[in-house]
Amino acid sequence: MDGEMLRVGQVFVAGGPPTITYNPRSELNLEEQIQDYLDEGYRILSVSGSTKTGKTVLVRRIIPPIDGIWLSGGAISSSEQFWETIAEHLSLFTSIERTSDSKDESWRTVTGQASAGILKGGADKKEIIGSTTGEKVSRSRNVATQVREALRGGMTPLIIDDFHYMPQDLQMEIVRSLKDLIFDGLRVIVIAVPHRAYDVVRVEREMTGRVQQISIGFWSKEELAGIARKGFDALKLVDKDEALIERLSEESFASPHLMQDFCLQLCKTNGYRCTQDEYRQLVAPDWETFFADRASMASKSAFDLLARGPRQRTDRKERELKSGETTDIYGAVLAAIAHTGPGTELTYEEIRAALKDVLASDSPQRHEVTRILEEMTKIATKEIEGEPVVDYDVELGKLYISDPYFAFFLRWGVPGLS
């Protein structure tokens, strides 16, 4: 990159596929595992990782959209839509039309005058007259059947991103319909959050043993630091003792997405928006202000919806926090979650213990807390766009904070919350 003028937004890419700051995490052999699956096939590959940990970026690095059939689970609401979307990707014609024509023709002679210089005379011209009749017959082909014919034995992989967005009954229907195609060689990759990684097996027990798992996992501080080092070097910026990199890594909730965003904003806060003509030292901002500003743009709307609770409700009992704030049970549960760090995977017992720490009054009963967690999950799924920021798994009794931006907001966005 020597001599190349780069904008800071080209270097630190938050929310898109990075190039300069892309980190393959080579020690985990993630790219090699995906490539091995493409070479071998005959099972479903489930790629799992928390939101904004780079799982989609990784798969797209190996299979760009031009080389695969990419579908979004959030955009698929029925099996018919699933097959029709693939048909559009493959530019398949879903109807056949046949036309038959018959002609009734005759000749007639037309006499007229012709003139060429001073010579004049008669001229005969023959014309064809008649009529054409025909009929068109068309029929529609079953879209699923046609798509299955096109996919069978093909080497173009099918990728379903955000597989967990689809309802379980739809997941089951789709997985069952793909089983024989996978047996015939179709490569199918599903991308999901970790606690939904085994949805393929959950919805279709016959897929047990036919699903390969690749877990992206949380990013280490050293892996996150690699993003900053590559980017700062490309922009000719220096963090001499790496104290800035260390702080940004600590606050990123193991998310490369957050790290990219923090590095981008740090450069801009220092007044650097492109490659410098010589190496320049970065300086620390007022960290409280820096992170509070970032948090205000993160997940406030999601927090407000969860704190408000269901639209239709009776008056709730007020509860006093040890911080002096007064709230209701929804606010108390959010305060308890924030008090844990927040942790991104919490058991009921951990939330219960945190409630005792943040409440000045008695803790709510178990059934009240689990009901609130289930209601929050419904709100996160139905009323908040994108990845659900919280997801309570009733079977496992665990709460997952699926979005690191929401976890970051709980830490920095509401002073006095916990």
What's the pLDDT tens digit per position in 51-97?
Answer: 888 999 999 999 999 999 999 998 999 999 999 999 999 988 766 55
CB 150 within 8 A of CB 186: no
Find the farthest-apart pair of alpha carbons in the chain and give their distance in angstroms, rounded: 121
Cβ-count burial 256-282 (b if 16+ within 10 Å, e if not): bbbbbbbbbbbbebbebeebeeeeeeb
DSSP letter (8 states) at residue 362: P
Give 84-140 pLDDT, tens digit per residue: 999 999 988 766 556 655 555 555 555 544 444 434 445 555 555 555 555 555 557
pLDDT at 115: 41
**What DSSP string runs through 197-223?**
TTHHHHH-GGGTTSEEEEE--PPPHHH
DSSP letter (8 states) at residue 346: E
pLDDT at 4: 74
Stretches where the chain sits below pLDDT 70 are 1-3, 94-139, 194-209, 298, 312-315, 416-418
Q: Break the chain into its structural domains and give their ranges.
A: 8-15+219-285, 26-90+142-215, 300-412
Give 331-361 pLDDT, tens digit per residue: 999 999 999 999 889 999 999 999 999 999 8
CB 12 within 8 A of CB 264: yes
pLDDT at 414: 81
pLDDT at 283: 97
pLDDT at 120: 44
Domain 26-90+142-215 has CATH 1.10.10.10: no
Q: Give the number of other CB atoms < 10 A from CB of residue 352.
A: 15
Q: For the structural domain made of 300-412, what CATH number should be given?
A: 1.10.10
- Residue 318 has φ and ψ, to the nearest 5°, of -75, 145
**What DSSP string runs through 255-312?**
-HHHHHHHHHHHHHHTT--B--SS-EE-----HHHHHHHHHHTTSHHHHHHHHH--SS
pLDDT at 325: 86
